[in-house]
């Protein structure tokens, strides 16, 4: 691993699912921490608005609209990262909930289930592969966004939860495999939040009592201040009384 700096001298973060919810919050947080940003989301309009909001803060913001399940989009992310010359942080936040209302697993449309796995499992692994060289250059950190559904066995959540359980295992495995390369990997369950995805999971319910993504700020401030190698391979819960839990 060799030292490197982006043209601006700032660290560089890639955030997927950055147009709304937790992803938009993390983009704002990292911008405030003087990161240059590569922001990715499926919806061009909201993504462009986030990018325009953050550019006056002084950092470089690249916004790439597209589907993380698309290899072409992942190639564009890699090309943008190579122009910076480094990636200090990759946040695999983009997620696919699946059909709404949530179907029982025994009746889950298999084409939809495959889509959930392509977005929630294959895409984070693929982006980690694509960005491997620039992550290794600076000993970067990969954060994979998980869910309590990964361990809950909740009725109706089988497709989404199983994909997040697979992502948790992939995170631990990548942490082991990338240790010698100096890249660290963790998974994070952010907890229930007042987001569009959570509303889609409960289309007929009032979710206004759920906390907003900004409520997880103390956790992220702590996590990003930790020695990366010391936390690699762990699974965290951003809203729990004790953030660290056994995976």
pLDDT for 122: 98
Which H helix or E strand runs over 61? Answer: strand 61-65
pLDDT in tens, 24-82: 999 999 999 999 999 999 999 999 999 999 999 999 999 999 999 999 999 999 999 99
Domains of the chain: 12-245 (3.40.50.720)
Residue 247 clears pLDDT 70, i.e. is over it? no
**pLDDT of 177:** 98
- CA of residue 4 relative to chain centroid, distance: 24
**Cα separations in angstroms, 174 against 168, 181, 186:** 10, 11, 9
pTM: 0.91
Task: Judge whether residue 172 has pLDDT over 70.
Answer: yes
Q: Taking the chain, what is the end-to-end CA distance rounded to the nearest angstrom?
A: 28
C-alpha–C-alpha distance, residues 92 and 177, integer Å: 18
CB 162 within 8 A of CB 146: no
Active site residues: 160
Whether residue 196 is predicted with pLDDT greater than 80 in this model: the reply is: no
Q: What contacts 231, CB < 8 A, 6 or more positions away?
A: 184, 186, 223
- Residue-wise pLDDT for 111-135, tens only, equals 999 999 999 999 999 999 999 999 9
Cβ within 8 Å of residue 75, ≥6 positions away: 130
Mean pLDDT on 206-210: 63
- The number of C-alpha atoms within 13 Å of 170 and in the hemisphere containing its C-beta is 24
């Amino acid at each position: 691993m060799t030292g490197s700096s982006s043209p601006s001298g700032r660290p560089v973060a890639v955030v997927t699912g950055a147009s709304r919810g937790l992803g938009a919050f993390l983009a704002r947080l990292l911008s405030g921490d003087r990161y240059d940003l590569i922001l990715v989301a499926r919806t061009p309009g909201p993504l462009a608005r986030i990018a325009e909001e953050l550019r006056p803060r002084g950092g470089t913001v690249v916004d790439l609209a597209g589907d993380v399940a698309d290899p072409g989009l992942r190639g564009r992310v890699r090309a943008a990262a190579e122009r910076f010359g480094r990636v200090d942080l990759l946040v695999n936040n983009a997620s696919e909930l699946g059909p709404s209302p949530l179907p029982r697993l025994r009746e889950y449309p298999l084409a939809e289930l495959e889509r959930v796995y392509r977005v929630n499992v294959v895409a984070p692994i693929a982006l980690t592969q694509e960005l491997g060289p620039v992550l290794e250059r600076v000993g970067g950190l990969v954060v994979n966004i998980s869910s309590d559904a990964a361990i809950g066995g909740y009725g109706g959540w089988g497709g989404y939860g199983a994909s997040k359980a697979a992502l948790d295992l992939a995170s631990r495995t990548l942490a082991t495999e990338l240790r010698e390369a100096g890249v660290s990997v963790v998974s994070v369950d952010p907890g229930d939040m007042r987001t569009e995805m959570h509303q889609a999971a409960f289309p007929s319910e009032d979710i206004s009592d759920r906390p907003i993504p900004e409520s997880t700020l103390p956790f992220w401030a702590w996590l990003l201040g930790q020695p990366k190698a010391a936390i690699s391979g762990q699974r965290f819960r951003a809203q729990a009384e004790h953030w660290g839990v056994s995976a």
